[in-house]
Structure 1
Amino acid sequence: MILHGRGISQGTATGPLLIGPDPISFLSGVDPETGIVMEKGHPLEGKDITGTVLAFEYGKGSTVGSYILYALSRSGHAPAAIINTEAEPIIVVGAIIGHIPMVDRLSIPLMDLPSGTIAEVNGTSGIVSFS
């Protein structure tokens, strides 16, 4: 399956698709040293986002969330790539400074993506493919 979206942060990356149905706050919601989602009650609580293609609606919370994405990248625990329904500035800035490929506005809802498959994200062209 190949989907077209809007390329946000350039580059390509491949990893297992991890879908979070709710927005994510990276500030206090994700441990920058481990990549574990810590946000109480979040559907991904306890999951490790390291090396995944992390698909979620959009970011929420403080602008410091951008720096948490950057810290995740520096510690080796960032997602390989990000897919959002609609990109917003906190996640976009974090993806860019963390060199994390990012795409949004795919033609199907995130929950219809093939969870658990390997996804390749091209943040330059906006193409996402699944195998």
Structure 2
Amino acid sequence: MQIKGHRICGGRATGPALVSKDAISFLGGVDPRTGMVIEKGHALFGKNVKGTVLIFPGGKGSTVGSYVIYQLMKNGVAPAAMINIKAEPIVAVGAIISAIPMVDRLEQNPVETLKDGDTVTVDGTAGTIELP
């Protein structure tokens, strides 16, 4: 099944879904050395974003979050791809400078449709996701 959305950053990646109903602040919320979510009280606290298709409503917090996403990529612990309900500039810029495929504004709400562990392919160039 293919779901249409809006292109943020091109490229294609497949991985297991990691889904959060909470927005993510990458600065202080995700450890750039390990990829572990460290924000206490966050729905993903204690989980690792490495190699996942990270699905969340959008970002929050400091503009430095873009650079934290870049650090995740440089350290080899970044998500394989990202999906937002509606991307905002901090996460979008982070995805672009890190070449992480990213889409938003899907025809179906990904936070409600997808579950942790679902295999998802993000085609950022086409602005679509594919499910088996």
Same fold per superposition (TM over 0.5):
yes
DSSP-derived class of the 1:28 partner: helix
Question: CA offset at residue 115 of structure 1?
Answer: 3.5
Question: CA offset at residue 114 of structure 1?
Answer: 4.2
Question: CA offset at residue 21 of structure 1?
Answer: 0.6
Amino acid at match of 2:119: I
Q: TM-score, normalised by structure 1?
A: 0.97
Question: CA offset at residue 50 of structure 1?
Answer: 0.1
Give structure 1 stretches of 5+ with no counterpart. Answer: none
Amino acid at match of 1:13: A
Distance in 1, matches of 2:81 and 2:8, equals: 11
- In structure 2, what is the equivalent of residue 117 of structure 1? 118
Distance in 2, matches of 1:19 and 1:114, equals: 6
- In structure 2, what is the equivalent of residue 82 of structure 1? 82
Q: Which aligned pairs between 1:2-21 and structure 2 lie closer than 5 A?
A: 2-21=2-21
Deviation sequence 1:62-103 (CA, Å, 0-9, x none): 000000000000000000000000010000000000110000
Deviation sequence 1:100-122 (CA, Å, 0-9, x none): 00000011112222432111001
Distance in 1, matches of 2:62 and 2:78, equals: 18
Question: Quick check: 2:103–2:124 contact (8 Å CA) kept in 1?
Answer: yes
- In structure 2, what is the equivalent of residue 94 of structure 1? 94
Deviation sequence 1:30-61 (CA, Å, 0-9, x none): 00000000011000000000000000000000
Q: How many residues align?
A: 131
- Give runs of ≥4 in structure 1 deviating > 6 Å: none
Question: Quick check: 2:8–2:127 contact (8 Å CA) kept in 1?
Answer: yes
In the alignment, structure 1 residue 36 sits paired with structure 2 residue 9: no
- In structure 2, what is the equivalent of residue 61 of structure 1? 61
- In structure 1, what is the equivalent of residue 131 of structure 2? 130
Distance in 2, matches of 1:66 and 1:21, equals: 20
Distance in 2, matches of 1:90 and 1:70, equals: 11
Amino acid at match of 2:14: T
Amino acid at match of 1:125: A
Deviation sequence 1:11-43 (CA, Å, 0-9, x none): 111100110111000000000000000011000
